[in-house]
Structure 1
Amino acid sequence: MSGSRGTHNFNGFISFEGIEGSGKSTQAKLAADYLKGKGRDVLITEEPGGTKISRKIRGILLDAGNNMDPLTELLLYNSARAQHVREIIYPALTRGIIVITDRFSDSTLAYQGYARGIDLAVIKTLDDIVAPDLKPSLTFLLDMDVEEGLRRNRAAKKEDRFELETVEFHKKVRNGYHQIAVEEPDRIKIIDASASVGDVSKKIIEILESQWL
């Protein structure tokens, strides 16, 4: 697929966003299972990842042994996304398949923009190049206290390069997500991720039923 496309207004692209330990991966899978149970064709994927190339880039990005410059980090995420969008996301959406992704471009704004301090205009320009006119029609932002999220991950022995960042870094990420949600309240639904897995899933399903089913 070429890098030049017209406008895409897909209504089947859902993203899950949130800080470390917010449970978005679990909730993305539960939402996919629910929609499949309703007879929908669903593809679940993640960022960085989803393709062989993107998974290799993921390994570099998350390796705790890599002392990475923020610009390098930004460009690697966009490289992984470029492959992911062209190989997986666009083809699936074009076939009418619902795509659920664990993270997408909002993560880049929150982590590399609001937390790392890279100019948001630069990030948005890169996003326009990498995924022109492609934005989730619905985003679930799983929100919770930063310290509790980090405790969850450490209890699960998850310690990649981002989980080892300071609490202040993760607070900047959370604040960034809140700012993005303020700017796009129709798309982004904030979910209290401190509740039980079942209660969080119930709230997400209620939103899916009200908007999609």
Structure 2
Amino acid sequence: MTGGRGRFITFEGGDGAGKTTQSRLLADHFAAQGRTVVHTREPGGTDFGVEVREIVLHSRSHIDPRAEALLYAADRAHHVATVVRPALERGDVVLQDRYFDSSVAYQGAGRVLDAGQIRDLSIWAVDGLLPDLTILLDLDPSAARARLDVARTRYDRLEAEAAEFHERVRAAFLDLAAAEPERFLVVDAALPVEEIARIVRERVDASA
């Protein structure tokens, strides 16, 4: 197993797809089995990550796309070294909202940078650590925006991007899943919350 004795499961998808909700439900599932769960996110899973998150999502200044990619990679390197790897070495379950696939989709496809270079940068930053399972919650960007309109009073820098940006991001996520079907579970995020949770639990339990 890539993460040692623990399990490393990441949640991916566009903004508004329900990643946080589903990762919390899966955390409850593991907790009911007596497992210790570390529920974290990128960026923002460490004190340093909170500072990076404020910059990349809420800065009022223009951030060059390459600088943005490097900021995410810096957060990822620190987060894996200080939170994720120690938890996996303890035998914990790590459930994480976003990982390097988000950088490939958002900075690679969304910002129209070289996706291979973005992936290589992240893989170097985390010293090759791959998730055991990545759950991609796929949702049409227009449906996602409708959800955000209900939940948000203010959009962050990425949420506020044009529809074409989010279409590129969605297509990139689906391409990543098609390229690594053994690592990805793709779920229709328009399904009811409990139905999605059931599908996720079945895949997780089957791969235990």
Global fold match (TM > 0.5): yes
Q: Which runs of 5+ in 1 are unaligned?
A: 1-6
Contact 1:60–1:66, Cα closer than 8 Å, also in 2: no
In the superposition, the TM-score normalised over structure 2's length comes to 0.95
Give matches, 1:110-129, under 5 Å: 110-129=105-124
For 2:45 and 2:191, locate their aligned partners in 1 and report how far apart those are by CA, in whole Å: 29
Name the aligned partner's letter for residue 49 of structure 1. G
Give matches, 1:148-167, under 5 Å: 148-157=143-152, 159-167=155-163
Match in the other structure for 2:69: 74
Q: Which runs of structure 1 show a deviation greater than 3 angstroms over 4 or more consecutive aligned residues? A: 7-11
2:140 to 135, 139, 145: 145
SS in 2 for 1:20: coil
Q: Deviations over 1:174-199 (max 9, x none)?
A: 00001100110011000010011111
Match in the other structure for 1:200: 196
2:26 to 17, 23, 31: 31
Which is further off, 116-125 or 74-83? 116-125
Query: How far apart are residue 121 of structure 1 and its match?
Result: 2.6
Name the aligned partner's letter for residue 183 of structure 1. A
Question: Is it true that 1:169 corresponds to 2:168 in the alignment?
Answer: no
Query: How far apart are residue 83 of structure 1 and its match?
Result: 1.0
Match in the other structure for 1:19: 14
Name the aligned partner's letter for residue 200 of structure 1. I
Match in the other structure for 1:3: none
For 1:143 and 1:206, locate their aligned partners in 2 and report how far apart those are by CA, in whole Å: 18
1:48 to 35, 43, 49: 43
The CA RMSD over aligned residues, in Å, is: 1.4
SS in 2 for 1:16: strand
Which is further off, 170-179 or 199-208? 199-208
For 1:26 and 1:8, locate their aligned partners in 2 and report how far apart those are by CA, in whole Å: 25
1:183 to 158, 168, 179: 179
Name the aligned partner's letter for residue 163 of structure 1. E
Contact 2:139–2:189, Cα closer than 8 Å, also in 1: yes
SS in 1 for 2:76: helix
For 1:9 and 1:51, locate their aligned partners in 2 and report how far apart those are by CA, in whole Å: 19
2:125 to 123, 130, 136: 130
For 1:154 and 1:132, locate their aligned partners in 2 and report how far apart those are by CA, in whole Å: 38
SS in 2 for 1:117: coil
2:101 to 101, 106, 109: 106
SS in 1 for 2:52: helix
**Amino-acid identity (%):** 39
Contact 2:57–2:158, Cα closer than 8 Å, also in 1: yes
SS in 2 for 1:195: coil
Match in the other structure for 1:59: 54
For 1:9 and 1:141, locate their aligned partners in 2 and report how far apart those are by CA, in whole Å: 19
